[in-house]
Structure 1
C-alpha cells in the first residue's frame, strides 16, 4: 500500500482531472499505518497536492485537504517549518476555510516546538498572515491563530517579533476590523500578558491594555460586559492583579457595582462585575477582597434576595464559589444575621424556583456545607450545623423529599447536600435519627440512572471514610454501608430461577 501512495502521487502529477486518483490516494494514505507513512512522507512530492488546492472544485479541495492532513501530521515540526513555510502561508490566504484550518493547525504544531518556532519568527510574511487570520470570518481559524500567536510570544524573541516590529501595527490594523475582532485581539493580548510580568510589560507598552481598560467607560453596555470578562482573565495571574490594582481598575469596578443601582442598563454588565470579584476572591483572599470591597458581597446577597432569575443564578454561583474554602465560609459567617436571612432564602429557592435555579441552589448549599475532615474544628462544625438548620424548618425531611423526586437533577442535587454533611458528626447523627434514611441509602432501586447511582455511591463512600460513622451509625448499619461500597455503584443481585415440573 505504501508503494501505491508514491505511484498514485506520480500519476496525479500528470493528469488534468485527477479527482478519481485523489480519492484512491486518500484511501491509500489512511490505510497505511502512521509510522510507515512517516518513513515515506519525507520523500513524497507534496507540491502536487498543494497546487491542486488552487481549484474551484470543492470536492477536489476537500480530498486534497484530507490527504495533506494525514501526511503532514507524520512530519517533524522542524522539517515542516523548513520545507513548507511558503505553502502554509498561501494556505492562510486561501478562500476555502478548510484549507485555512489545515494551514493554521500545522503552524500550531511548528510554534509548539522550540527548535521549529525560529523559522516562523524569521518569516514576517507568515506572522502577518497569522495576524490577519484573527480577523477572518471563521471563528475556528481565528481561535487557532490566537493560540499559535500566544505560543510565539512565549519567548523574548517572539515578543520582540510581535511588539517591536511592524507586526504591532498589523495587530492594530486588524483590530479595527470590527468589535468582534477587536475583542479577539484583546483575548490574544490577555493570554500573552498572563505568562509573566515581562509579557505584561510588552502588552502594556503597546497600548493594548490601557485601551482594554478604557472600554469600561464605553457607552455600549455589551462591550463593557465583554471588557470585564477580559479583565477577569487578566486578573488570574498575580502580576495581572498587581497591575490592575496599580491602575486603579479594581477600585473602579467596585465603584461600578455601587453605581449599578442608578443605571437602568446595569443588568447587562453587573453579573460580570460580580463574577470579577468572585474570581478575584478565590485567586487572592476572600477575606481581604470582601473586607476591602464590601459592595461586592452586599451585591451578591442582594442578587439572591431579588426576583430576577439571571441575577439570582449569578448570586448563587458566586456564593457557592466563596463557600468552597474555609476562609470564604468564615467571611460569610461574619456577616451574622444578614447571612442567616440569605440561608433562609436559599431554602426557599431550593424548593420553589425553576429546575435550573433549584439545581444551582442545591450545588451552592452543598458547597457551603462541605467541610474537609482535617478542618473540622468545633467552631466550624457548629457553624455548618447552624447553617443547615437555617435552611428549612425540617431540613432532613425537605432534602429527603427532594432526593426521592423523579427529576434527576433535583434528586442528585439533594444527594450532594447529604454528601456535604456526611463526613460531619452532626450530619451523621441527623441521618441515623431520621427514620428510614439509612435504608434509603442502601436501597439501589432509588437510583434509577447511572448519574444517580454515582451520586449515591459518593455519599456512601464519604460516610464509610469517616472515623465517626461506625460509632454513630452502629455496627449493623456500618457493615451495610461497607458492603454497598465493596459491591460498587452498579451492583445487581442475582435472582435464582427454579424450574417447576408438572405445572398446570
Structure 2
C-alpha cells in the first residue's frame, strides 16, 4: 500500500523537524488531508495517521487548535478507535491549560457534551483525561456556569446512568471540582450530586459505601469541604455507622474506609476535638489494632500513625495510658513477625508516633516518646537493628526511618551510644546495597548531625565522623589504591 508507506515515511521525517519549523510550514490543507484519512474505514491508515497528527498538533498553539479544528476534535472524541479518542482528549487537555484557549471551549457546548460523554468511555485513560479537563474548565466562574447552569448537567446525569463505574467517575469529578473553593462546592451542592453521593454512602449497599467513603474523605481535605460535611450531619452519620457496625456481618467491607476518614479528619482538624466528640472512632481503632485480622490491624496501625503525627494527636493517645502502651507492644511484635507488607506499615507508624521536632521537645514529651519506645519491645533498639540488617530493602529502609525519627532526642542518642557497635554501623557505608538504602542512611546521619545535643552525647570523635559522612554525601565511595606487582598472575 503506497499511501501507508508514505505515511510511515512522513512519520519518520517529522521526528527530525523541530516544532517551531513545523509550525512555520504547516497549513490547514495538510491537517485536513490527515483528518480526512481518520474518517476513512482503513484501520491501518488511521493508526498510521495518529502519531503524525500528534506530532503536528503539538507544534500548534492550543488556541489555534480549538479555533481551526473544533469539528475535527469533536469527531475525534467519538471516534470508534481508542487511539483517536486519546489523541483528541489529549488536545483538549492542552487547550484547557491555556487561559486564552479555554474560553473558546466554553462557547462550544457540543464539544463540552462530547468531553462529558468520554467519562463513560471503556478506556480508562480517556475517562481520566476527560475528568481532568472538565475539572480544569470548572476552575473559572464561566466554566462553573457552563457545567452546572444549563443542559450540560443533564448530560452529566445521562452519562451517570450508564453504569456504577461511570457514576463513581462523575462523583470523582464533582469532588475534584468541590475541592477548589467554597463557591465551586456551592455549585456542586446545588446540582444535587453531592447529596446523591452522601445518600449512597449511608445506603444499604456495603460495597458502594466502601467506594463512596474514599470520595467523601477527599472532600474533607479542604476546610470548606469539612464545614459542609459537618453542616449536613455527614460526620455524625459516619460515626453512627461505625457504632452500628458491631451488628453488621458485612462491616469489614466498609469499616476500614470509615475509620480512615476519621483519622484524616483528626489530622487536618483537631485530634483532641475529633476524638472527644466521636469517642467511637478511637474505640474502634483500638479494637481493630487488638484484633487478629491482619487487614484490620493494618488500617488501625496506619490510622494511629496519622493520628500521632502531630503533638496534639500524641497527647490524645497518651491519655489512654496503659491501653496504648500495651498496644505498642503488639505493634512491636507485628513489626518483627507479621508478613512483610504489615511489618512495613508498622515501622512507618512507629516512625510517625516517635518523631518529635526539636522545637517541641519538652521534658514531658521526651519522657512520653521514650516510654513508648521502651513499650515496643524488651530491647527495642536491637529489634530495629535486626530488622535493618535483613536483606529486604523496604524493611531495611523502614527500620532506618525509625532510627531517624528518634535521632534528635537525647534519650535515643544515649541508647545508640550505649549499644555496642551501633555508631560504627551508622557510619559504615558498605551495608547499604542500593540507592534507597543509601538515601535512608544519609537522612539518619543528617538528623544526628543537626541535633543540638549530639556532640555532647556522642563525643567529639564520633561527631566528627558523622559530620564527615554528611559532607561526603550519600553515595561517596572511598578510593582504593592498588599496586601492580611485576610478574603477578
- TM-score for both structures, normalised by structure 2: 0.97
Equivalent in the alignment of 1:345: 330
Equivalent in the alignment of 1:370: 355
Equivalent in the alignment of 1:413: 398
2:330 counterpart of 1:330: no
The alpha-carbon deviation at position 428 of structure 1 amounts to 0.4
SS state of the match for residue 200, structure 1?
A: helix
What is the alpha-carbon distance in structure 1 between the residues aligned to residue 275 and residue 43 of structure 2? 58
2:40 counterpart of 1:51: no
Which runs of structure 2 are paired with 1:298-313 in the superposition (5 Å)? 298-313=283-298
Equivalent in the alignment of 2:63: 78
Counterpart of 1:115 (choices 100, 104, 107) is 100
Equivalent in the alignment of 2:445: 460
Q: CA deviation digits over 1:144-200, x for unaligned, max 9?
A: 111111111112221121112111111111110010001111111111111122211
What is the alpha-carbon distance in structure 1 between the residues aligned to residue 70 and residue 487 of structure 2? 84
Work out whether residues 91 and 103 of structure 1, in 8 Å CA contact, stay in contact via their aligned partners in 2. yes
Equivalent in the alignment of 1:354: 339
The alpha-carbon deviation at position 499 of structure 1 amounts to 3.0
The alpha-carbon deviation at position 461 of structure 1 amounts to 1.2
Distance 1:394 1:94, change over 3 A: same
Equivalent in the alignment of 2:199: 214
Work out whether residues 210 and 257 of structure 2, in 8 Å CA contact, stay in contact via their aligned partners in 1. yes
- Runs of at least 4 residues of structure 1 off by over 6 A? none
Equivalent in the alignment of 1:394: 379
What is the alpha-carbon distance in structure 2 between the residues aligned to residue 92 and residue 370 of structure 1? 51
Counterpart of 1:196 (choices 157, 181, 188) is 181
Work out whether residues 42 and 75 of structure 1, in 8 Å CA contact, stay in contact via their aligned partners in 2. no
Q: CA deviation digits over 1:436-490, x for unaligned, max 9?
A: 1111111222222222222112111111111111110011111111122222222
Equivalent in the alignment of 1:496: 481
What is the alpha-carbon distance in structure 2 between the residues aligned to residue 72 and residue 200 of structure 1? 35
What is the alpha-carbon distance in structure 2 between the residues aligned to residue 239 and residue 139 of structure 1? 30
Work out whether residues 202 and 237 of structure 2, in 8 Å CA contact, stay in contact via their aligned partners in 1. no
Which runs of structure 2 are paired with 1:252-271 in the superposition (5 Å)? 252-271=237-256
The alpha-carbon deviation at position 323 of structure 1 amounts to 1.8
2:28 counterpart of 1:63: no
The alpha-carbon deviation at position 38 of structure 1 amounts to 2.3
Counterpart of 2:434 (choices 444, 449, 462) is 449
2:212 counterpart of 1:227: yes
Q: CA deviation digits over 1:299-336, x for unaligned, max 9?
A: 11211111111111111111111122112111111221
Work out whether residues 41 and 74 of structure 1, in 8 Å CA contact, stay in contact via their aligned partners in 2. no
What is the alpha-carbon distance in structure 2 between the residues aligned to residue 90 and residue 54 of structure 1? 9
Unaligned runs of 5+ in 2: none
Distance 1:475 1:22, change over 3 A: same
Deviates more, 1:388-397 or 1:245-254: 388-397
What is the alpha-carbon distance in structure 2 between the residues aligned to residue 24 and residue 349 of structure 1? 61
Equivalent in the alignment of 1:275: 260
Work out whether residues 37 and 49 of structure 2, in 8 Å CA contact, stay in contact via their aligned partners in 1. yes
Counterpart of 2:109 (choices 117, 124, 129) is 124
Question: How many residues are paired up?
Answer: 489
Equivalent in the alignment of 2:73: 88
What is the alpha-carbon distance in structure 1 between the residues aligned to residue 296 and residue 27 of structure 2? 58
Q: CA deviation digits over 1:6-55, x for unaligned, max 9?
A: xxxxxxxxxx9621111111112111012212222356521111110123
Q: CA deviation digits over 1:406-436, x for unaligned, max 9?
A: 2222222211111111111111011111111
2:121 counterpart of 1:161: no
Work out whether residues 92 and 103 of structure 1, in 8 Å CA contact, stay in contact via their aligned partners in 2. yes
The alpha-carbon deviation at position 503 of structure 1 amounts to 6.5
Counterpart of 1:314 (choices 299, 307, 311) is 299
Counterpart of 1:440 (choices 425, 450, 458) is 425
The alpha-carbon deviation at position 57 of structure 1 amounts to 2.8
SS state of the match for residue 69, structure 2?
A: helix
SS state of the match for residue 115, structure 1?
A: helix
Distance 1:225 1:398, change over 3 A: same
Deviates more, 1:349-358 or 1:108-117: 108-117
The alpha-carbon deviation at position 59 of structure 1 amounts to 2.6
The alpha-carbon deviation at position 502 of structure 1 amounts to 6.0
Q: CA deviation digits over 1:226-278, x for unaligned, max 9?
A: 11111111111111111111111000001111111111111111111011111
Work out whether residues 120 and 127 of structure 1, in 8 Å CA contact, stay in contact via their aligned partners in 2. yes
Distance 1:17 1:207, change over 3 A: farther
Q: CA deviation digits over 1:312-369, x for unaligned, max 9?
A: 1111111111122112111111221121121111111111111111111011101111
The alpha-carbon deviation at position 64 of structure 1 amounts to 0.8
What is the alpha-carbon distance in structure 1 between the residues aligned to residue 485 and residue 171 of structure 2? 77
What is the alpha-carbon distance in structure 2 between the residues aligned to residue 156 and residue 449 of structure 1? 50
Counterpart of 2:222 (choices 228, 231, 237) is 237
